């Protein structure tokens, strides 16, 4: 039996230079679900202690990618791309880790639609995202 999408995305997350540079960790991967955390670091800030929106968008995109792959048929290998990404910034994350929970809303033959919510460590909503991901 070949690798599953979950196995492939777990290996990709552990080896991706950008994911490693951001320090994103995997809290949970399940069928159509990914929970990832971006640790607070001073080099992730835009000014003072506010986490940069680009770092948050990268977390949301990475979580959506992981959810799209988790539970997917990986018989064609790990090939795909984000087709569209919309991020709404709801509140500032100040001096705290941010955790993104990404859930597949609909899985088509090649397109996967993923809803993402990013929460600060204090439980406050920091951002919401909607991603369209193309597998294969």
Question: Among candidates 87, 43, 33, which has minimal Cα distance to 64?
Answer: 33
Number of domains observed in the structure of the chain: 1
Residue 1's pLDDT band, with cuts at 50, 70 and 90, is: very low
Three-state DSSP class for 129?
Answer: strand
Entry pTM? 0.95
What digits encode the pLDDT tens for the residues 25-37?
Answer: 999 999 999 999 9
Specify the pLDDT at position 78.
73
Lowest-confidence segment of 40-54, 55-69, 76-90 by average pLDDT: 76-90
pLDDT at residue 3, rounded to an integer: 67
Average pLDDT over residues 45-52: 96
**Continuous segment of H or E residues that includes residue 53:** helix 53-69
User: Which of 122, 134, 4 minimizes the C-alpha distance to 81?
Assistant: 134
Provide the pLDDT for residue 75.
80
In this predicted structure, the answer to whether residue 2 has a pLDDT above a threshold of 60 is no
Question: Which burial class, exposed, middle or buried, applies to 81 when counting CB atoms under 10 A from its CB (0-12, 13-18, 19+)?
Answer: exposed
CATH number assigned to the domain comprising residue 61: 3.10.129.10
What's the mean per-residue pLDDT of the chain?
Answer: 95
pLDDT of residue 84: 98
Domain that holds residue 61: 5-135
Q: What is the pLDDT of residues 80-131, one digit of tens each?
A: 999 999 999 999 999 999 999 999 999 998 999 999 999 999 999 999 999 9
């Amino acid at each position: 039996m070949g690798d599953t999408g979950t196995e492939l995305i777990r290996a990709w997350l552990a080896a991706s230079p950008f994911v490693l540079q951001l320090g994103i960790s995997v809290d949970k991967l399940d069928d159509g679900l990914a929970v990832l955390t971006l640790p607070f670091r001073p080099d992730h800030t835009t000014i003072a202690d506010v986490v940069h929106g680009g770092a948050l968008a990268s977390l949301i995109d990475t979580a959506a990618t992981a959810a799209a792959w988790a539970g997917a048929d990986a018989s064609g290998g790990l090939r795909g791309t984000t087709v569209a990404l919309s991020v709404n910034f709801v509140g500032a994350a100040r001096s705290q880790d941010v955790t993104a929970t990404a859930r597949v809303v609909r899985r088509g033959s090649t397109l996967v639609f993923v809803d993402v919510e990013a929460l600060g460590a204090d439980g406050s909503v920091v951002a919401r995202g909607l991603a369209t991901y193309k597998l294969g």
